[in-house]
Amino acid sequence: MIVKQLLPGGDRNYSYIIGDYESGSGVVIDPSYNPEMILKEAKKSGLEIKYIFCTHNHPDHTNGNSRIIELTGKKPLFYGDTDPDTGIILSDGIEIPFGCLTIKIIHTPGHTEDSMCLYIGDCLFTGDTLFVGKIGGTHSRESALKQYEALHKKLMTLPSETKVYGGHNYGITPISTIGQEKESNPFILQRNFEAFYNLKNNWVQYKLEHGIK
């Protein structure tokens, strides 16, 4: 499996190309600000783009959608959309065939209601649900609870060696693993939702006290 982690601009946004060696098929995750660069990188690897996914509907992840449609004829898919090729609805737990691989959709509401992660091989593409050492913002107690449950019931139950690729370059390293996040991410380490929610509300002060950028 080919994984290319790209920095197209914006707020340290990541875009991703995932490729299947055998079929030569490629997937783009979060077109963001520079679809031309993304497609150029795909071409270098001999990949034909089969799918384009957006982890959630925020402009810094979707800014390049109109342009990438023009360049590929492919419509970016969000959680709840129907794949026009297979008729598969992007719902929680569904698996989409991709060459010799499968793309598993994991619904992780919280940062946004439509937030999803894509689980491909041993790699998890988390958008703004989970970063290296951090998590995405939420806007209410209810959305924070949804995020807490998604993190613990869906993501932290994956194999420890699963590689974590976030939607922004906010961490001390570009990638992590589920095992590393369970051991060191301060949000994951909170013993219950109340402690988790308290940390979210006091995150600025926590960062200052612990030297986190």
Instruction: Measure the CA–CA gap between 22 and 59, rounded to whole angstroms.
Output: 33
pTM score, whole prediction: 0.94
Q: Which residues pair with 25 in a beta bridge?
A: 20, 48
Can you give the pLDDT at residue 32? 84
Structure tokens at 79: 């959680």
Q: What are 175-189's pLDDT values in tens digits? A: 999 999 999 999 999
Instruction: Measure the CA–CA gap between 132 and 2, rounded to whole angstroms.
Output: 21
Q: What are 95-135's pLDDT values in tens digits? A: 999 988 999 999 999 999 999 999 999 999 999 999 999 99
CA distances from 11 to 7, 59, 197 (A): 10, 11, 24
Can you give the pLDDT at residue 8? 81
Can you give the pLDDT at residue 128? 94
Residue 88 and residue 77 in contact, taking contact as beta carbons nearer than 8 Å: no
Any idea where the domains of the chain sit in the sequence?
2-210
Can you give the pLDDT at residue 10? 77
Class for domain 2-210, per CATH? alpha beta
Structure tokens at 212: 């986190």
Can you give the pLDDT at residue 86? 81
DSSP string, 70-139: HHH-PPPB-TT-B-TTT--B--TT-EEEETTEEEEEEE--SSSTT-EEEEETTEEEEETTEETTEE---S
Can you give the pLDDT at residue 144? 98
pLDDT along the chain (213 residues), means of 10: 90 93 93 90 94 88 84 91 86 93 96 96 97 95 98 98 96 95 97 97 91 82
